[in-house]
Structure 1
Amino acid sequence: MSTACWHCGEDTGSTPFTARTPDGLRNACCAGCAAAVEMIHRMGLSDYYQLRTENAPLAALDENDRTLALFDMPALVAPHRRPQANGHDALRLQLGSLRCAACCWLIEQMLTDLPGVHEARVNLATMQLSLEIDQGDLALPRQIAERLLRLGYSVTLPGDPRYERDLQKEKRRLLGRVMLAGLGAMQAMMYSFVLYLNVFDPSEAIYESMLRLTSLLIATPVVFYAGWPFFSGAWHGLKQRQLTMDLPIAIALLLAWGGSLVNMALGGSHVYFDSAAMFVFFLLISRALEQRQQHRVRRAWQRLQDALPQVVQRLRHAEPEWISVQEIQPGDILLLAQGDTVPVDGIVHEGEGDISEAAITGEPLPARRVVGDTLPAGGKVLEGRVQLRATGTVDSSLVAQIAEQVSRAAEERVTVVRDWQRVAPLFIGASLLLAVVTLAIHWEDSPALAFEHMLALLVITCPCALALAVPLGVSATLSTALREGILVASPKQLLALNQVRGVLFDKTGTLTLGDFQLTEFLDAASPAHPESLTQRLAIAAALESDHPHPLARAFDGMAADQALTDVRISREGAEGKRQGVHWRISGDPAYARPDSTCLLLSRNGEPSVRFWLTDQLRPETTAVLERLRRRGLTLRLASGDARSAVESLARQLPLVEARGQMTPTDKAAWLAQLAQAEGPQMMVGDGINDAPALLKAAVSVAPASATSLARRAAGLYLLDDNLRRLPALPDLAARSRQLIHQNLFWAVLYNVIAVPLAMAGFVTPWAAALGMAASSLVVTLNANRMNRWKASSC
């Protein structure tokens, strides 16, 4: 245990400074602290050290102890731990020092061995760990953190300000290692180049020895400092009895450095200090690019969660007051001025302004919002002042739901990734076995050459490119799609898009605006009804006031009867009682018109008032469907609305079939039949009644206006409130799949060609280092090409 400085508490190191005090010598970390201690005592202020702490010298706090202290405080862990319906708790942690998919596999394997941990999923792109653990076990988070630290990974709670500082520190440290390795590799190569030319005669052997010794001195810090992450990763894996990707790298480096040292001591001419230095340099360059890609994706997703403000002004008793955004409740009136960010979803209550929704939709141009318009959380007031009536809390806002779906997408595993994690230990074991076989094949020719060929094989078979091929391609796709206003909640569904044969659309709110207007009503009551028409209209408004269906919103501007009781809402309509009379409002298909839907208000089962409501087709609907049809997709419509309204709409659009008056079960069953007859189907819907079909579809899409349940059921979500991005989804899927296949093809082709050449002895260690690094660079740079993709709109 190192000694702490008496003055500041920092570690004094192995040779501490000393300060003279009346109580004897005190340790100090530097000359400045030593002088401060002596001056404080000379001025008679020694009580400072008594008042500062009762435990005289300050104990130096180990960084791991500081980290574990976070997990000893249930109040700090609680915001990141949520109960689940299955009786477990979901816990999310932030990781650091992740290097590849093999790191994810190792962490998941080691954590699921802990009692109380039921599932562990690591997202390489965002470096987040999601767990399912026993409910009520307060000690388990610390045990998880301890195991992660023993594995050599850093861990903290999401939102910890130290995490960003640690990322920057890790980035600077990696950059320093890259620079050292680059300088060392160049210098070692210069000396080795002279040795390769064989320009010295026997009388100048001392100069050869000097060049080899200089190469040793240069390569040693490159191998053991710049290359330390590989040794550390391999050692932590071995301690847990796991074969990690760092193991063959560490073995190759040790063999190259140690074998060269032994060969030099025995007077041999073969040394590989330059190859070892170049190997480290190329590996670190590849790792730095991978780190950059991971940080870019993490920042893109983090921007959504950081979009919301911490405090906001609420209007209370006609006076503004500052409150935390966590205190906002539905119905609160919030004051937003120029430059403010919308904290929760709401409706403009008063005023107007230009609002930028770029953080949500990616649309750079602001939109004018007036009284009655909806504003999503994350929008920014560029000009004007508005009063916003909150329609939900921070946790129920669109931004919060998007963040949750982003996390779900990040945790979902594409099949190839999951397969690689199972195959990784076998691949590494096979590489080590092939290295031994290579050594045996060439041993009789020359032990020195056999060693060189084995070394080249170990370097070539480093599985970095193969492990990174799919994760980097998927994470780049998610980041690019989010930038273009497309939220990919299920990467598997995105990649399945190009196999889709047909699309099933919902009508209201999907192909139409879902903004119904009451265009006509007719008094259908008998003269015996005592209620006036005005009273009955108020009863209809009261019945529809809490109904979630878009048809109900047509009654929002009408005065509602307050005497209604026992209101019950169902898919078919709503019913309630008023002074012993039973009232019900529901669809009336018999009186529906081609361009409108009919609702009937009944009194004790007898007709009272009929209402006709019309909806408007989305402006972009025809162009969107036409582009999808030209792609060869079969387009159909499934709606719960009256058949006449559905058929009228279908005649305006390029649809092959349209069905009305369908229940949620009917939609899901029809979709299943189509999938069996034609192949995979895509469902596009926005309502609660679309959720079963969205869950059943091979690919499910929800527009921005969708209900919360529909958004959760959908695998893809359009952040802009229109369908213009829908035809771009197949292009996005094709581009993503193309990049992933290119990465896999290159990684496999490289190994297929390079391994036999290395076993045959045609590849030198330095060339193997260059080829291995090049393969990882190709995979990383190819994934980065996804960032140039642009969505085309109708």
Structure 2
Amino acid sequence: MSSACAHCGEPAAPELYVEQDAQRLPVCCPGCAGAMTLVHELGLDNYYRLRTGRARPHGGDEPGERERNLALFGMPELLAEHESVTPEGRRLTLSLSGLNCAACCWLIEKAAADIPGVVSVGTDLAAMELTLVYRRADAPAAVAERLDRLGYGVTLPGDPRGRALRRREQRRLLGRLALAGIGAMQAMMYSAALYIGAFDDGDQVYQWLFRLVGLLIATPVVFYAGWPFFQGAWRGLRAGSPGMDLPVALALSLAWGGSVVNMALGGEHVYFDSAAMFVFFLLLSRWLEQRQRHRVGAAWQQLKDALPLLVRRSTDGDEQWVTSRRVVAGDLLRLGQGEVLPVDAVVVEGQGQVEQAALTGEPLPCRRGPGDAVQAGGRLLEGTLLVRAAGPVGDSLVARIADQVARARSEPPPMVRDWRRVAPLFTVAVLALAALTFGLHWAAGPARAFEHALAVLVVTCPCALALAVPLSVSGGLGAALRHGVLVASPGQLLAVTGLRGVLFDKTGTLTSGHFRVIRHQPLGDGGHSEAVLLSIAAALERHHPHPLARAFDAYPDDPALADAEVLHQGAQGRRLGVLWRIGPDPFDDAGNAATRGATRLLLYENEQPRLRLWLSDEPRPEAAAVTRALGAQGWHLRLASGDGEGAVATLADTLGLDDWRARQTPEQKKAWLERLATEEGPQMMVGDGINDAPALLAASVSVATADASALARKAAGLYLLKPGLAPLAALPALARRVRRGIRQNLTWALAYNLTAVPLAVAGLVPPWAAALGMSASSLLVTVNASRIARWQSSSS
């Protein structure tokens, strides 16, 4: 009889040993020999005493594939996509495989923690993820190599191996659910005969046989299908923070163990059917909750996976394929029929139909030609386009969505955070209540007291309370995403219902932000032609980030102008030793009918006015409908802009806004919003520019438009995915629906516990009824939350 491998438990190979502490330990392959040697050299032999399962056998990957996978961790450009910068260092999340128990997590954390450059290591057994914080560039490669030597698989997020692992875990959960469902039905079928007293008049052999069959059916349901609850309970105990899995695991253990003891002692009470039903309904709730919780992330991952790894870059007429991550602002890219754009860009030449359903949800393609913007993720259905990249992959709208998704995942609503603090106390209270119930009914006999205590453990499972808020919020995030709003701060979505007013930015928010010069007038006697003055203005504004500056892109730059610099309002530079400046026109009179509502600029030569310009920017087509919809909520609508009085007043009058202020600096916008919040109540800020960021940060609810600046989108809690303001109109109704769902779920969960717990303590609820009631409570909460995810606005 061959011995077993001391590392993985597989049959050992003949004459293959590892020498340790004067012992010859059998192993099955060189991989396990290397892993055992490394564990011993690191002083981590406690791993073999802590683990509850076998290590992952080596040899699953071909040597070439293993080398390829490890080589990925030495490429900074690949790691950069999955990294974030923290005060402690760079933070990297990796996908793991081969973990079997908490001992594997212990071994990984201990083995990686002493690698030079590693600040901290954390593992998540349930998510099969490793979070690494490090300060040296070679640390990820060293960690990956060491984990591979230990026999664990490590991949970058999005790697096909990681996706295969997640699919396997999902199939495993579904398999556990199927086993629990079949087992619960079968166990109930046999228990029904016992409950109705079919064998009370005799046939004790059949009574015992039915109980034995119930044991055989319930055992795999409890200990295989219900294994995640035992794992969760153990992790909570080890961390010193018992969670809701603890009373579940205890109830399952007592139901199964108590039934076995009763059978052995010839007692009447068995609870195999209750345990099986308990596991089935809990797994069903967990499966539904998992699907809903991952919906927002899955929508993002689907879009992210659609981006191409390669793109054709055109340089002086020569085209070559390059990796998408090598694209920088200004690169010319050739897009052929059927190809997907990896970056945001502007069309330089060509015409084509571009479909962006993956990003905007709009099923119909849009025709794009020279001067039109196209976004990353857009697929060219017909034609050929030459586009100029607006920036690298990391600056695209897709990357912005990634940032917002990460924020949404990392920021639970206040009610969720409160529940996490209360959950351990709730769990301890449940255990104490079960013990009290056992003592109260001791006089009726140990079996009866045990039954009532078990019913209390089952009926008070906090699953419904724990799921009430997160599932409702998750459903709201999914519904918002379908309506074109990405929620980075769930708390801000819930705060929409308490708003008292909205403060809008003008340019690029209520207007399209596409300015054009509609009139220009020379001033003074500077001796310059209008063409020269326009070229000077164009050279000054060429690199200004404000949308006003784009009105001059069609004019040629004056080659003599140098040292142009962006000012707080406008720009300045020197031409042949003379200072030129462009900025707002301080004399903002009404003008004639043709230019009323236009933005006015002045071009100065040594602070002498030389050219007055009128720039026009039309309101967004949907702006009037959106402001009417928000005004119908009883909110006060206001406009704050850095433009002059004429343009701001005209737009406010056109849209029927309650109040407006012109020539506002970022600090003035913030101060006005804070004063409104003090006098009226919570305010919403809607903006798109860098100058809107202070007000966005100060607002109770902040919304950035789809083409917002990087600073504005980071300051905002809500982000519009589609161009325009139309998704704003659905926000109030969606926020009310989410809050109503939370109230319904919390009310039901609390009412159920307040009703069921006293009955269980009084001994009026048998364990099988407790399992059914608890499961029905959790399922009701889950189903009600899923209705939020399917919510449709009346305007859809």
| CA 1:731–1:570: 2 relative to 1, 3 Å | same
Equivalent residues of 2:73, 2:144 under 8 A apart? no
Calculate the TM-score normalised by the size of structure 1. Answer: 0.85
State whether structure 2 residue 726 is matched by structure 1 residue 724. Answer: yes
Deviation (angstroms), 1:738: 1.4
Opposite residue 448 of structure 1, the aligned amino acid is: A
State whether structure 2 residue 535 is matched by structure 1 residue 538. Answer: yes
2:749 matched residue in structure 1: 747
1:496 matched residue in structure 2: 495
Deviations 1:130-157 (A, max 9, x none): 969463497699999999xx9xx99864
Deviation (angstroms), 1:589: 2.7
Equivalent residues of 1:71, 1:142 under 8 A apart? no
Secondary structure, in 3 states, of the residue corresponding to 1:320?
A: strand
5+ long unaligned stretches in structure 2: 16-25, 30-55
Secondary structure, in 3 states, of the residue corresponding to 2:247?
A: helix
> Which is worse superposed, 310-319 or 286-295?
286-295
Deviations 1:214-265 (A, max 9, x none): 2222222222222222222223333333313222112111111111111222
Deviation (angstroms), 1:672: 0.5
1:473 matched residue in structure 2: 472
> Which is worse superposed, 710-719 or 342-351?
710-719
1:37 matched residue in structure 2: none
In structure 1, how many angstroms separate the alpha carbons of the residues matched to 2:13 and 2:96? 35
Opposite residue 772 of structure 2, the aligned amino acid is: L
Alignment of 1:221-300 (within 5 A): 221-300=220-299
Equivalent residues of 1:376, 1:398 under 8 A apart? yes
1:182 matched residue in structure 2: 181
State whether structure 2 residue 580 is matched by structure 1 residue 583. Answer: yes
2:44 matched residue in structure 1: none
Deviations 1:188-234 (A, max 9, x none): 22222222233335653233222222222222222222222222222
Deviations 1:69-121 (A, max 9, x none): 969956589436646374533333458999xxxx9xx99xx99xx99879999
Alignment of 1:593-672 (within 5 A): 593=591, 594-672=596-674
Equivalent residues of 1:355, 1:369 under 8 A apart? yes
| CA 1:87–1:297: 2 relative to 1, 3 Å | closer
| CA 1:720–1:197: 2 relative to 1, 3 Å | closer
Deviations 1:512-551 (A, max 9, x none): 122211111112132xx35444322211110011111121
Alignment of 1:200-239 (within 5 A): 200=199, 204-239=203-238
Secondary structure, in 3 states, of the residue corresponding to 1:727?
A: helix
Opposite residue 465 of structure 1, the aligned amino acid is: A
Residue identity over aligned pairs, in percent, reads: 53
| CA 1:140–1:523: 2 relative to 1, 3 Å | closer
Deviation (angstroms), 1:377: 0.9
Alignment of 1:231-380 (within 5 A): 231-380=230-379
In structure 2, how many angstroms separate the alpha carbons of the residues matched to 1:742 and 1:444? 40
2:37 matched residue in structure 1: none
Calculate the TM-score normalised by the size of structure 2. Answer: 0.85
1:713 matched residue in structure 2: 715
| CA 1:267–1:782: 2 relative to 1, 3 Å | same
Equivalent residues of 1:80, 1:157 under 8 A apart? no
Deviation (angstroms), 1:12: 9.0
Deviation (angstroms), 1:403: 1.2
Alignment RMSD: 3.7
Equivalent residues of 2:187, 2:273 under 8 A apart? yes
2:22 matched residue in structure 1: none
Deviations 1:359-412 (A, max 9, x none): 222222221111111111111112222111111111111111111111112211
Opposite residue 291 of structure 1, the aligned amino acid is: Q
State whether structure 2 residue 61 is matched by structure 1 residue 60. Answer: no
Secondary structure, in 3 states, of the residue corresponding to 2:571?
A: strand
Secondary structure, in 3 states, of the residue corresponding to 1:583?
A: strand
1:406 matched residue in structure 2: 405
> Which is worse superposed, 699-708 or 550-559?
699-708
1:90 matched residue in structure 2: 91
| CA 1:704–1:291: 2 relative to 1, 3 Å | closer
In structure 2, how many angstroms separate the alpha carbons of the residues matched to 1:523 and 1:622? 36
In structure 2, how many angstroms separate the alpha carbons of the residues matched to 1:95 and 1:658? 55
Secondary structure, in 3 states, of the residue corresponding to 1:651?
A: helix
Opposite residue 419 of structure 1, the aligned amino acid is: D
Equivalent residues of 1:636, 1:655 under 8 A apart? yes
Opposite residue 92 of structure 2, the aligned amino acid is: L
Deviation (angstroms), 1:287: 2.2
Secondary structure, in 3 states, of the residue corresponding to 1:166?
A: helix
Deviations 1:458-479 (A, max 9, x none): 1112222211222222222222
Equivalent residues of 1:525, 1:608 under 8 A apart? yes
In structure 2, how many angstroms separate the alpha carbons of the residues matched to 1:307 and 1:792? 31
Deviation (angstroms), 1:494: 0.9
5+ long unaligned stretches in structure 1: 19-25, 30-57
In structure 2, how many angstroms separate the alpha carbons of the residues matched to 1:655 and 1:72? 55
Deviations 1:334-362 (A, max 9, x none): 11122111211111100111112222222
| CA 1:441–1:519: 2 relative to 1, 3 Å | same
> Which is worse superposed, 204-213 or 245-254?
204-213
Deviations 1:605-657 (A, max 9, x none): 11211111122122222222122212211111111111122122222221121
1:36 matched residue in structure 2: none
Opposite residue 539 of structure 1, the aligned amino acid is: I
| CA 1:201–1:615: 2 relative to 1, 3 Å | closer
In structure 2, how many angstroms separate the alpha carbons of the residues matched to 1:4 and 1:545? 73
| CA 1:719–1:203: 2 relative to 1, 3 Å | closer
Opposite residue 164 of structure 1, the aligned amino acid is: R
